[in-house]
Amino acid sequence: MDANTKPVVAIDGPAASGKGTLARRLAAHYGFAYLDTGSLYRAVGQAVLAAGKDPADEAAALAAARALDVTKIDERSIRTREAGEAASLVAVMPGVRAAILHLQRDFARNPPGGKKGAVLDGRDIGTVVCPDAAAKIYVTARPEIRAHRRWLELKGSGSTVSEAQVLEDTKERDRRDAGREASPMKPAEDAHLLDTSDLSIEAAFGEAVRIIDKSMS
């Protein structure tokens, strides 16, 4: 990214690490625009499913990615277990990633609403999307902790999936996301690691603010 663009905070990490909650709070704290990049892949996956097609069908996924309108994403429909699995499948496709990459970089360069900066959370923000981000944080937590958090979310939405199955799904998504050829999930070399396994939301937020303030000073 161009060094003259507005400041960007890159928040990366695996599913249910707490990065989304943290990124939203940070955006509000700094008055930055916020983009949940994972929702973009979920939206693509859900669009493919809604069209009655297989998320593994690259042509169908690419068409959905190119037609994506971020203002029309249905948050409820993309938060299902099925949408999450579909997202992980379409996210490995180079064509889909190229379409989403363009959208993400445009958001970072031109934060909507006249915001003075942007916070993007995902899996490759600091390594690929915004390698020159002003601050980079890789948020993680033990798989068992992340699976429990996700299971509680699903249970609250009426799902009957077992916690054991969610843990297996979590581990499989980690393997897939870290092992993909296109932009594998990994911390940027200059990212600050933040393990939220044993931290409250407030403690994690405080540590993130400390990191960002130091990085942007």
In this structure, what DSSP letter does residue 98 have?
H
Best CA proximity match to 79, nearest among 39, 51, 33: 39
pTM here is 0.82
Element (H, E) at 33: strand 33-36
Q: What is the pLDDT along the chain (217 residues), one digit of tens a residue?
A: 444 569 999 999 998 899 999 999 999 999 999 999 989 999 999 999 999 999 999 999 999 999 998 778 898 899 888 999 999 899 889 999 899 999 999 899 989 888 999 999 998 999 999 999 999 999 999 999 999 999 998 999 889 999 999 999 999 988 888 887 777 888 999 999 999 999 999 999 999 999 999 999 8
Contact predicate 154/161, CB 8 Å: yes
Q: What is the three-class DSSP state of 89?
A: helix
User: Which residue in 172, 55, 183, 6 sits closest to 164, CA to CA?
Assistant: 172
- Is 148:210 a contact under the CB 8 Å cutoff? no
Give the total residue count for the chain: 217
